[in-house]
Homo-oligomer: A and B are copies of this chain.
Amino acid sequence: MATDEVEQHALARAVAVEILVHGPQPRASLARRLGVSPATLTRVTRPLVATGVLVEGGAIRTPGRGRSSLPLDVVPDARHFVGVKLTRESIYGVLVDLRAQVLHTEVVAEPSLAVHEVVAAVTDVVNRLRARSTRPVDAVGVTVGGRVDGGETVTDSPFLEWHDVPFRTLLAKEVGEPLLLANDVVGLTMAQQWFGYGRTVADFALLTVGAGVGYGLVIDHRVVPTYVSPVSHLPVDPSGPLCRLGHRGCMSAYLSSGAMCATASEALGRELSYDELLALAEQREPVATRVVSEAARALGLATAVVTSLTGVERIILTGEGVRLAQIAPEALRTGRLAYSAGPLRPIDPVVMPMDFVEWARGAAAVAIQHRFP
């Protein structure tokens, strides 16, 4: 369609991305940021405004002299996207606009782990979200926990118990194109990069705390492909407990929800859920506090290792279990400082609480970024 031809232009996309990421701005500001002349910027934005992708906001007065500026903004509803996140138990879907604002949510139980049933269930979720949309959905993003190869194949997903499933193609036959498949943490990272705490920096890392420990990395504005939860098995204490893979005292032995619950349940003599454990720690129950503090210390250590090895300016902590960073901030800090060389660089980890809808929003971010390469 016509608007697509317009967006073929690299500079047009750069303008749209700049506005998406850094908010509405007058043409003069965009020209400076993108390093082009005002003439070029006028030229490139004209068709975008004409086709309704961008709109001029009301005149804004800056102190001092000079003409008022007319900030350009994207029209959020100019594009709609769908994001779907698969877990072992449920399928979370969201319909979002260009700014990744959630317009609708759909959650269904995972029917089974059989591929064709999952395909059918995802298709159903996407179709229901499509029905709620006021305009055609421009792209669909799907994310799964586990290794995804080339955006095509789920090489290995411990949660879904899948191996080498060409999921994207199978799903695209039902859902249609464009359909993007990615790792769930990659999606979350892309969402943070454009719409979250990663907007203002060139480099950042993201750690997720929950069933496993997830890890995403952005260097120089690009998502760096990393592999299955490399942080999960960082050494913390070689005399510590064993994790499921038989590593002694690795990160996941302290920080994964399963390990934390197992440790606390054994010590307390009764079964504890993850939420109960965190709630007990909030109330300063001694055993829960100890388990959560050790987890926070391990997380702090992970942040220190990640920041030092990658040189990132910012680190984002998130995931279902990130509350533990708020419950035991001093333990987090202890872990960060344990192996630091010299004075600590002023990188306070950003804590972003989240729920499962946020994962689906990450999947949508994959779709959004795909439209603005």
A binding-site residues for B, Cβ under 8 Å = 156, 203, 215, 217, 219-220, 222, 224-239, 245, 247, 250, 301, 305-306, 308-311, 338-342, 345
Specify which of B217, B236, B340, B341 is in contact with A310 (CB 8 Å cutoff): B217
In Å, the complex CA distance between A309 and B228 comes to: 10
**Can you list the 8 inter-chain pairs with the closest CB atoms, starting with the nearest?**
A230-B308, A226-B311, A233-B339, A233-B341, A219-B219, A237-B238, A309-B309, A247-B339
> In the complex, A250→B236 CA distance in Å?
11
Contact A305 B305 (CB under 8 A): yes
Q: Is the CB of A309 within 8 A of B215?
A: yes
Partner of A232, one of B220, B222, B245, B341: B341
> Which single member of B156, B235, B341 contacts A236 (CB below 8 Å)?
B235
How distant is A328 from chain B, measured CB to nearest CB, in Å? Answer: 19
The distance in angstroms between the C-alpha atoms of A341 and B232, with both chains bound, is: 8
Task: State whether A305 and B311 are in contact (beta carbons under 8 Å apart), knowing that A227-B345, A341-B229 are contacts in the complex.
Answer: no
- Besides A235-B339, A309-B310, 12 other CB < 8 A contacts? A217-B309, A217-B311, A226-B309, A226-B310, A226-B311, A227-B345, A228-B341, A230-B308, A234-B305, A235-B235, A235-B305, A310-B310
Residues of B within 8 A of A305 (CB): 234-235, 305, 309
Q: Known contacts being A219-B220, A236-B235, A239-B238, is A308 close to B226, with CB within 8 Å?
A: yes
CA–CA, A306 and B247, complex, Å: 18
Which of chain B's residues have a CB closer than 8 A to the CB of A156? Answer: 342
**A232 contacts across to B, CB distance below 8 A:** 341
Determine if B339 and A250 form an interchain contact, defined as CB atoms under 8 angstroms apart. yes
Chain B residue contacts of A301, Cβ below 8 A = 235
Give, as a whole number of angstroms, the nearest-CB distance from A216 to chain B: 11
A224/B311 in contact, CB under 8 A: yes
Q: Which residues of B contact A310 (CB under 8 A)?
A: 217, 224, 226, 309-310
Shortest CB-to-CB span from A149 to chain B, Å, is 13
